[in-house]
Structure 1
Amino acid sequence: MRVTTDRDRCVGSGQCAMLSPEVFDQDDDGLVLVLQERPAAELLEDVHRAADLCPSRTIQVTG
């Protein structure tokens, strides 16, 4: 699995960082940061939930 984001579309809701703090964080402006571009399989469910709940649909999960 590979996780990418489009920071230009991020609205800073923080859902991703709350749902999957091992994979996502926020910078000083509140925008998404990907901490692990290729997270372990056991994080898959949380990463997909974060992507599904992202209000700006900026998180992409491939693979």
Structure 2
Amino acid sequence: MDEELSPIGRFAGLGRLSVEQPRHHAELGLLVPAYVDEHTGHRYHRHEQARDALSIGLPR
């Protein structure tokens, strides 16, 4: 796995989101994980996606 990937909890913190919000936004197609482990289902995001997460999280 790429070292630039963050697990969903750490990524949510970068984007000032709850852990549930990236999952919800992925279902809507707004913030799709860069990698999903096929065995565990764990989601990982690239650091570059934090800007998108902030854009989604700030208006609330």
Q: TM-score range by the shorter chain?
A: 0.3 to 0.5
TM-score normalised according to structure 1 size: 0.31
Q: Greater strand share, 1 or 2?
A: 1
Q: Greater helix share, 1 or 2?
A: 2
TM-score normalised according to structure 2 size: 0.32
